[in-house]
Amino acid sequence: MFMVKPSNDAGCILLFDYRVDDQDRSTRPDQGPGGDNIKWIFAFPVLILAAYVASEWHRKEILQLELQLEKERGRAQGLEQALAFHRQQYLYEKQHTVLGLVEEKLMERQSIFCSMLGSTEKRLEIENDLLLIAREPALAWSGMESSFRNIFEKDKTCAGWWSRDKSQNGGLMWFYLEYWKMQLKKTDG
């Protein structure tokens, strides 16, 4: 008589009760040649069943582990996508902030250029600052350095010495600023 009982930690427990002195048996282990081995003939089907039950339990356990692994992979992929999105968002915000700073610096530079009282030294300092900004890795796509040099060399547009509105000065610089803003919008997608 046998019984297979599932267990949480060991897979299954095989309970086997073989009684050698059972009166219903026609063959006793102590009778005839190989009589001691007869009990294994009766135990063999039980052992096969136990092995099958254990293998099914392990198969289910492996399946559960594979499902958990797949869930973790999906979660990791989701986290990677979220991280990439946040990196891209951060880069866009940084580019946008730097572009705002560039606009301010260019307006200040052009105002000094157009002013009769403007300091050449201050204008050159602003131009050097702008060239340093152009080397910022976040702005690698823009080609700003050569554009700045072009502005410094060719943008002579001034509203007039009486104008206090800095946005009235410059021509080429506004063209480049609009171009950079359009490029930034394209990179944002």
Rounded to the nearest 10°, the torsion over CA 88, 91, 93, 96 is -120
The per-residue pLDDT for range 109-156, each reduced to its tens digit, is 999 998 888 889 999 999 999 999 999 887 877 889 999 999 999 999
Under the banding of pLDDT at 50, 70 and 90, the label for residue 167 is confident
Domain assignment present for residue 49? The answer is no
Token pair, residue 125, equals 């300092």
* Predicted confidence band of residue 16 (pLDDT cuts 50, 70, 90): very low
Domain count along the chain: 1
- pTM, rounded to two decimals: 0.60
Instruction: Evaluate whether residue 130 is within a structural domain.
Output: yes
Q: Judge whether 144 lies within some domain.
A: yes
- The answer to whether 98 touches 138, Cβ cutoff 8 Å, is yes
Look at residues 163, 161, 155 and name the one whose alpha carbon lies nearest to residue 109: 155
- pLDDT value at 4 more than 50: no
Determine, yes or no, domain membership for 94.
Answer: yes
The DSSP bridge partners found for residue 16 are 2
Cα separation, 189 vs 182, whole angstroms: 11
Residue 6 lies in a domain: no
Average pLDDT over residues 13-23: 49
What range defines the domain where residue 174 resides? 90-188
Residue 39's pLDDT is 61
pLDDT of amino acid 14: 47
* 47, part of any domain: no
Per-residue burial over 117-132, b if 16 or more Cβ lie within 10 Å, else e, is: eeeeeebeebbeebee
Is 178 among the domain residues?
Answer: yes
Angle at which helix 172-188 crosses helix 144-154, to 10 degrees, equals: 160
* 184 lies in some domain: yes
Of 58-67, 101-110, 151-160, 180-189, give the range with the top mean pLDDT: 101-110
